[in-house]
Amino acid sequence: MERLMPPVALLLLCPLAAALSGAGRFWHITDLHWEPDYDAAAAAGQVCPSGGSRVDPAAGPWGSYVCDAPWRLLASAASAMRNRLPRPDFVLWTGDDTPHVPNEKLGEEKVLHIIENLTSLIKKTFPDTKVYAAMGNHDFHPKNQFPGKEHKIYNRTAELWRPWLNDASVALFRAGAFYSEKLPSPATKGRMVVLNTNLYYDKNDETADEEDPGGQFQWLEETLTNASRADEMVYIVGHVPPGFFEKKRGKPWFRSSFNERYLKIVEKHHRVIAAQFFGHHHTDTFRMFYSDTGSPINVMFLAPGVTPWKTTLPGVNNGANNPGIRVISYDPDTLQVLDMVTYYLNLTRANMMALTREEEFPTWEEEYRLTEAFQVPDGSVGSMQMVLEKISKDPHYLQKYHEFNSVRYDLTPCEEACCIDHVCAIREVDFTKYNECVKTSSSASAIVSVWLLLFSLLLGLLSPQQLL
């Protein structure tokens, strides 16, 4: 017997279907981390410099979980993007191109060579498409040490990206690697703001004593104010996000003063910020922003990386991921996110299949669609608050989110400590509130555990006759 969809579900889905029929779509890719010296057949299983002394006997032609991405994997991702959505409205590329190796194995010219090669790959894949590219903390030499002033790497990268930039953007990029441009469609009153948040990274010693590196905060405020006056909506794009890493408790990325100022800007200008798109984590997650009264006002989406590299950050368990790429559907009039579809490569399966048959590229599968997976109408701030509430209260949704977080690499149960780490990182981007969230949640969890222990001891003391 055919099951009919409930009327309420139909009412929820019909407006979405109508909206999606006129929706725009764009790609978001991040953290490609090309490993030029990858060699799956290397002796002793040490197949790449980014793996250090770690070995991987299961390494294959499409990559390894202890390594950054071989060129074949990046070409495969580009092919999948071209096949899935060959004519996007635009592409977001949020940085980190070089491998996780010591500075002495790189140098300015090698960093620029890698950026140039990946730029060429994206231009070849989407020759007539606008690309909004941001620099990642690894796209510099020495890594992380981005200055708030003109630099050779900024100048050379601006020239590589000149086909995607107007003259004003080239000048801004040379001065600090940030810029803003209108979205390409004349029918869209939208603007892209591309930030260099590497200036705020807590590993960046160049800007540690500065209040506003490169004047980017002041420029951002002016840009958002002007957008409001022009009745434009804005997407903010960058690499290193504010807040905390959900896979390592208490690990922030920004210096405290920079984190606080960024939050104040988002709160002040949230009405013109339609959404924010960042990378850096290599994981699939999001961050909520709230007003002083606790109302949700904005959302930041963190896309999974293409590199499968297992992080060496101490204290992180199962810190690898399957390669992921993402399509975002949006309303061209308001820039509201309508839906997101994440595609992924099951790296283990792809390498196993390569042993039995030759194929030009393996299949990138649809991992999930946001609205279907979490049963929400769209990707708006209100909907993402609903997703957060489902994750925090329903073990089924928590586990689903947890598996998506690593692009189906880590399928272990997300238990109490894991839940606290993820929920507090999503909910609280502010340093003080995050620490309070972790402390309060951990205390509540401990109290529940004590009561369960006492209850079980009490049951053990009672005889079967007393229980009847």
pLDDT score recorded for residue 453: 47
pLDDT score recorded for residue 460: 56
Other beta carbons less than 10 A from residue 309's beta carbon: 26
pLDDT score recorded for residue 3: 39
DSSP state of 63: B
Alpha-carbon gap, residue 468 to 462, rounded angstroms: 10
- Nearest by Cα to 323 from 298, 353, 344, 293: 344
pLDDT score recorded for residue 443: 65
Alpha-carbon gap, residue 149 to 160, rounded angstroms: 19
pLDDT score recorded for residue 18: 43
* Residue 307 DSSP SS3: coil
- Nearest by Cα to 123 from 151, 85, 82, 153: 82
Confidence of residue 9 (pLDDT cuts 50, 70, 90): very low
- 305 by Cβ neighbours in 10 Å (0-12 / 13-18 / 19+) ranks as buried
Q: Is it the case that residue 13 has pLDDT exceeding 50?
A: no
**One-letter amino acid for residue 134 of the chain:** A
Which residues, other chains included, contact 408 with Cβ-Cβ below 8 Å and sequence gap of 6+? 322, 344, 346, 367
Q: What percent of the chain has pLDDT over 90?
A: 83
- The helix (H) or strand (E) run that includes residue 136 is none
Between 196 and 58, the higher pLDDT residue: 196
Q: Is it the case that residue 4 has pLDDT exceeding 90?
A: no
Confidence of residue 448 (pLDDT cuts 50, 70, 90): very low
Q: Is it the case that residue 454 has pLDDT exceeding 70?
A: no
Between 355 and 216, the higher pLDDT residue: 216
Alpha-carbon gap, residue 326 to 191, rounded angstroms: 20
- Average pLDDT over the chain reads 91
pLDDT score recorded for residue 359: 76
Q: Is it the case that residue 447 has pLDDT exceeding 90?
A: no
Q: Is it the case that residue 79 has pLDDT exceeding 50?
A: yes
Strand partners, 286: 301
Residue 150, both tokens: 């003109």
Q: What mean pLDDT comes out for the span 6-28?
A: 62
Q: Is it the case that residue 464 has pLDDT exceeding 80?
A: no
Residue 441, both tokens: 């949640």
Which CA distances in Å does 96 have to 40, 85, 172? Answer: 22, 23, 20
Confidence of residue 400 (pLDDT cuts 50, 70, 90): very high
